[in-house]
Amino acid sequence: MKSSQEWVPPPGTAALIFDCDGTLADTMPAHYCAWLSMLRPYGIPFPEDRFYAMGGMPTAQIIRVLAQDAGVSLSEAEVERMVHCKEEIFLRHLQEVRRIEPVVRIAARYRGQFPLAVASGGYRHTITRTLVHLDLLDWFDVLVTAEDTPRHKPEPDVFLEAARRLGVPPATCVVFEDTDIGLQAASRAQMLAVDVRPWREAWGTSLRRQ
């Protein structure tokens, strides 16, 4: 795979769409710690490999799946309280979050040449706070989050809504994602999907060597 410095948009590209968590922002370790802290009183397990496999799904949806699998009965009010608790724990660790530089460099390079969007399964308040912390919010023309579509990744709705708001055909969009379900959602939207995980892993390795 080419490095992010070598990546160029294919002919016909009209817009670039970025996931946030794990794509633009190195939030996944902080999110996982928040999940473990929130779930501990309920005795609900959440192995790390499953956490990454479910990346891109809204928090409430993940809670319902985990609770059902663990045989824990939760009311909708309890689910909402758990969502709030998990997001608040994450935000307390927001200062630890860094930009994922190889992906951010692409946004920086093509900002002004193409309209840019963030399309995330996260909640608007949390995604906005994350982008503000990283000084990235005003780079993007459109922000689509979990509240904006009835269905979520791996369904294509969040990416289709981003294209609609940008005013471009879905097939002319390039999506940058870090999860299998996000890549699947982009494919279902008939968009070219770029898996940023090799770039993120190489970037993380270089940081550890410093």
Cα 189 to chain centroid distance, Å, stands at: 16
Arithmetic mean of pLDDT, 8-23: 98
**pLDDT range class, residue 179, cuts 50, 70, 90:** very high
- CA 155, CA 201: separation in Å to the nearest integer? 26
Per residue in 75-86, pLDDT tens?
Answer: 999 999 999 999
What is the average pLDDT value for the chain, to the nearest integer? 95
- CA 123, CA 176: separation in Å to the nearest integer? 19
What are the residue ranges of helices labelled H in 134-189?
A: 157-166, 180-188
| DSSP bridge pairs for 16 | 116, 174
> How many CA atoms lie within 13 Å of 142's alpha carbon, on the beta-carbon side?
24
> What is residue 207's predicted lDDT score, i.e. its pLDDT?
66
> What is residue 15's predicted lDDT score, i.e. its pLDDT?
99
Please give the share of the chain, as a percent, with pLDDT higher than 90: 91
How many Cβ atoms are within 10 Å of 192's Cβ, its own excluded?
Answer: 17
Whether 1 shows a pLDDT value over 80: the answer reads no
Arithmetic mean of pLDDT, 94-121: 97
Domain 28-94 has CATH 1.10.150.240: yes
> What is residue 57's predicted lDDT score, i.e. its pLDDT?
87
Rounded to 5, what percent of the chain is helix, strand, coil?
A: 55, 10, 35
Arithmetic mean of pLDDT, 48-57: 90
Per residue in 148-167, pLDDT tens?
Answer: 999 999 999 999 999 999 99
CB 18 within 8 A of CB 193: no
Per residue in 116-147, pLDDT tens?
Answer: 999 999 999 999 999 999 999 999 999 999 99
In the chain, at which residue ranges do the beta strands (DSSP E only) sit?
Answer: 15-18, 116-119, 142-144, 173-177, 192-195
Q: What global pTM score does this model have? A: 0.91
**pLDDT range class, residue 206, cuts 50, 70, 90:** low
Whether 210 shows a pLDDT value over 60: the answer reads no
Arithmetic mean of pLDDT, 4-18: 96
Q: Looking at domain 15-26+98-209, which of 3.40.50.1000, 3.40.1110.10, 3.20.20.70, 3.40.50.150 is its CATH number? A: 3.40.50.1000
Residues labelled catalytic = 19
Domain boundaries, the chain: 15-26+98-209, 28-94
User: Is the pLDDT higher at 106 or at 57?
Assistant: 106
State whether residue 205 is helix, strand or coil: helix
